[in-house]
Amino acid sequence: MAEMHQVAVLGGGSFGTVVANIVASNGHSTKLWLRNLELAEHINQTRENSEYLPGYHLAPSLEATNDLVQAVSSADIVFVAVPSQSFRQVARDIAPYIKPSAAAISTTKGLEPGDFRLMSQILAEELPNNTLGVLSGPNLAKEIAAGHLTGTVIASQDEALNVTIQQLMQSPSFRVYGSSDMYGVELGGALKNIYAIMAGLGAALELGQNTIGMLITRSLTEMSRFAVEEGANPLTFLGLSGVGDLIGTCSSPLSRNYRVGFALGKGQALDDIIDELGQVAEGINTLKLVKQEADKRGVYMPLVNGLYDMLYNRKTVSEILDGLMLAQQSHDVGFALPEN
């Protein structure tokens, strides 16, 4: 018989809700923490998170709460699914209450505003005694809610934690793969948000599938080139958390970052788009931080530079594409193995 767990999911947005529901549906005691008391009570009464996932029925055993201490203190597994700008504060708030034996797992695909910090690095700083992991992949919450077949990656340096999360979340429509490359898996999830904006922009401007295919492929090259500088394994980007997440996010209007790009391509101002979206599009913050870090490390990222110039230096899409096409010719695959 599979081991039963006490699980807390921190963050009542769309992805936090589906993670909590998967776990609860597998029979584990699960608490979903969110700040909004009224919404928590509504979820408990109606079995639906009407604000983020209307129409998605939640398991009867899933308990929503706005009491952070209650959610965390009895848990042996804690998923942190809050936006990057509030991630450190939430990690700091739970530090006195989380059990030292509990595992803390980030599902947030972003970087800490103001500094180049991955969510796993924040967890290591704020929860130094806990086992850590990262969950990432092509995981659009609305598709998971609709029962579409979905794969994700749990990455931890503790193989036992990987196995535990695989058993915890496995279902007929949700499959979990393991990895030891936390930085690679996490960077794949964070970086692809930048290129999803670019893909949405390209779709709005009807650039054509040849162009979109080139942009996505060169995006993957940029992502892996940057990640290697941060200590990741470039081969990680051939998996679900790299190319899988990139393709899924760059081809779906369900992606918030894709929608930002599409609206930009239709002429809307960035501030207006963010106001209308109503949820966090992590790619905007990530773009600024990656641009700064790449410049500091001397990493060649023409697509990042081009999108940054378009958003903040008033360059046109034509200028960005001209810069890409007229740049010095280079190899197609940067980390291909040499021929014998």
Q: For the chain, first and last CA: distance in Å?
A: 50
φ/ψ region of 27 (left if φ > 0, alpha if ψ in -120 to 50, else beta) reads left
Query: Is-contact 159 179, C-beta < 8 A?
Result: no
- The rounded distance, in Å, linking the Cα atoms of 257 and 283 is 6
- Are the beta carbons of 304 and 194 closer than 8 angstroms? yes
Q: Could you give the 3-state DSSP secondary structure of residue 103?
A: strand
Q: Which of 230, 168, 238, 210 is nearest to 2 (CA)?
A: 168
Laid out side by side, the sheet with 103-106 consists of 63-65, 29-33, 6-10, 77-80, 103-106, 131-136, 150-155, 174-179
Q: Is 192 a catalytic residue?
A: yes
Structure tokens at 231: 């200590």
How far, in Å, CA of 44 to CA of 46, rounded?
A: 6
* C-beta separation of 333 from 221 below 8 A: yes
Q: Indicate left, alpha or beta for 149 from its phi (over 0: left) and psi (-120 to 50: alpha).
A: beta
- Which residue bears the tokens 């060649």? 300
CA dist 134 and 204 (Å) reads 33
Options 31, 192, 266, 291, the catalytic residue: 192
Secondary structure tally for the chain: helices H, strands E: 15, 8
From residue 205, give the alpha-carbon distance in Å to each of 56, 211, 317: 33, 11, 9
Q: Which residues are catalytic?
A: 192
